[in-house]
């Protein structure tokens, strides 16, 4: 019963977020029964961290304002903020009708991760660029951080599973075989969906992933 109620809660949250994104102007009449979460983030790390509400990815901290503000039904909700190389930041919030809850994000560096000595470079170009990126089940950031000239992500050579997810779109998955000191490029356009985003399996640490602007000779794979 609890599992079923949890699934219904996630679906309800998803539908609300899609409604907010598509019809922000029509929400004014409903503001009295909804509550809102605002985020306070000091550094670039906090601002680019991904946000989950009740285990549903909703976007990254910096963008969750204005028309993309998180509006929730009254009650208790769990907020989780994730960043590659940092410990998860979690907070339980109590939402009241017409009230705003301020969440101050403070990320603590995870000192247990070790980076490989030999690496490959992963380039990602995906539309929309606000989608979340997962490597081998670990959240590593949003697409916009890894696309463009001089941007990329270092991974250990070998097979890796790439997953890209965003509410309102079908989750994209692809396996890559990264050769040492070469570049692998993943390109795609997410397809819109009427159903909830498939919840990615999130690990708390990605020891073999490191962001980097260093680029080398490439062997590209695109979709």
Predicted confidence (pLDDT) per residue in 153-193, tens digit: 888 999 999 999 998 899 999 999 999 989 999 999 999 98
Domains along the chain? 2-104 (2.60.40), 120-212 (2.60.40)
C-beta of residue 121 within 8 angstroms of C-beta of residue 183: yes
* pLDDT surpassing 60 at residue 52: yes
180 Cβ neighbours under 8 A, 6+ residues apart? 118, 119, 120, 157
Which uninterrupted H or E stretch holds 11? helix 2-22
12-26, 30-44, 62-76, 197-211: least confidently modelled range: 197-211
90 Cβ neighbours under 8 A, 6+ residues apart? 78, 79, 80, 81
Residue 2 CA: distances (Å) to CA of 9, 19, 53, 79, 202: 10, 26, 17, 19, 21
Please give the structure tokens belonging to residue 62: 């910096």
The span from the CA of 113 to the CA of 110, in Å, is 7
Q: What is the pLDDT of residues 115-163, one digit of tens each?
A: 677 888 899 999 999 999 999 988 999 998 888 777 888 889 999 999 9
The span from the CA of 111 to the CA of 99, in Å, is 37
CB atoms near residue 80 (< 10 Å)? 18
The model carries a pTM of: 0.71
Residue 143 CA: distances (Å) to CA of 40, 65, 115, 127, 146: 22, 19, 21, 8, 6
């Amino acid at each position: 019963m609890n599992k079923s109620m949890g699934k219904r809660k996630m679906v309800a949250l998803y539908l609300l977020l899609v409604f907010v994104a598509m019809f922000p102007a029509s929400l004014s009449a409903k503001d009295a029964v909804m509550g809102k979460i605002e985020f306070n983030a000091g550094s670039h790390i906090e601002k680019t961290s991904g946000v989950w509400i009740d285990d549903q990815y909703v976007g990254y901290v910096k963008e969750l304002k204005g028309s993309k503000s998180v509006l929730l039904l009254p009650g208790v909700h769990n907020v989780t903020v994730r960043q590659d190389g940092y410990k998860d930041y979690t907070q339980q919030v109590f939402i009241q009708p017409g009230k705003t809850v301020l969440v101050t994000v403070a990320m603590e560096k995870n000192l247990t991760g070790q980076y490989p000595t030999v690496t490959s470079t992963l380039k990602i170009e995906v539309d929309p660029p606000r989608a979340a990126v997962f490597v081998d089940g670990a959240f590593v950031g949003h697409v916009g951080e890894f696309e463009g000239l001089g941007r990329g992500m270092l991974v250990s050579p070998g097979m890796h599973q790439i997953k890209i997810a965003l509410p309102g779109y079908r989750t994209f998955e692809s396996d890559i075989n990264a050769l040492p000191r070469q570049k692998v490029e993943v390109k795609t356009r997410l397809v819109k969906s009427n159903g909830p985003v498939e919840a990615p399996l999130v690990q708390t640490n990605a020891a073999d992933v490191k962001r980097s602007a260093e680029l080398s000779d490439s062997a590209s794979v695109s979709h």
